[in-house]
Amino acid sequence: MEISGSNPGFKISARGLSVQRTRMNLIAENIANSETTRTENGEPFRRKFITISQNQKGLNAGIRQDGTLKMQTTNPDHIPFTSQANATLKGNTASLDFEVHEDESVGELIFMPEHPDADEKGYVEMSNVNVIQEMVEMIAASRSYEANLTALDTSKQMAKDSLEI
């Protein structure tokens, strides 16, 4: 989903929504495969998780070295108390990067000699997914999604109210 416009709050919130949606999809996949003992590669399902980081430009792209924020204006006369040297805002406001990883920890070994995936000693390696942990992660991701949605709605309301002035 592409949200454009001059309001950086829209892009920040949209990127946050996208990251949390990806996180919830991974959690749902983990829960769905929590009992999978053999995947296409012959190994038990491994828990997938997401790491979120700030990209190189970050949100500080519009802040000068002395710590002052540069404001974007179309004409320096519009805001008379702003100097010309302080008149541009540049940078990427949607500054979150994320990567999907697999948890390489070993799952629980359960003695089930009749299971088709059992080893020569009768043990089956289960998936390393803990459903309780995944449900807690799902609640946190859901709350983060709701927070980003609230921020998007607030930005939208502020833009709407500014047009009514």
Is residue 117 within 8 A of residue 124, CB to CB? The reply is: yes
Sign of CA dihedral 61, 62, 64, 66: negative
- Summarize pLDDT for 78-106 with one digit per residue, the tens: 555 444 333 333 334 445 678 889 988 88
* Distant-in-sequence, close-in-space partners of 6: CB < 8 Å, separation ≥ 6: 72
Intra-chain end-to-end CA distance of the chain, in Å = 29
The dihedrals phi and psi of 102, each to the nearest 5 degrees, come to: -110, 140
Question: 81-107 burial string, b = 16+ CB within 10 Å, else e?
Answer: eeeeebbebeeebbbeeeeeeeeeeeb
- Summarize pLDDT for 116-144 with one digit per residue, the tens: 988 999 999 999 999 999 999 999 999 99
Q: How do the domains of the chain map onto residue ranges? A: 8-57+92-163
Beta bridge partners of 123: 111
CA distance 162 to 39: 54
Is 0.85 surpassed by the pTM of this model?
no
| Residue 80 host element (H or E) | none
- Summarize pLDDT for 35-45 with one digit per residue, the tens: 998 888 889 99
